[in-house]
Amino acid sequence: MVYKKFYSELFGRYILPDENDFISFVKAEFLFSIDKLTDENCSCMKCMNDLNKFIDYFQNLKETEKANY
């Protein structure tokens, strides 16, 4: 899997792929984004697509982690 740097709204900085707990940062950012979109309760197509995409990515990340252990 190729990791890319991303800007974290939760931590307010770029998260680099060579950081020690990169996957933990990714999971925290997904959970933050899911919680934010759920709280906003927006029914527009973009927000609904983003929410579903983040939930799917998070589930895939958890399944990948389980397979690696």
Average pLDDT along the chain: 92
pTM of the model: 0.85
Q: What is the pLDDT of residues 1-33, one digit of tens each?
A: 688 999 999 999 999 999 999 989 999 999 999
pLDDT tier, 66 (very low <50, low <70, confident <90, very high otherwise): confident
For the chain, give every domain's residue range.
6-68
Residue environment code for 56-67, b if the CB has 16+ CB neighbours within 10 A, otherwise e: eebeeeeeeeee
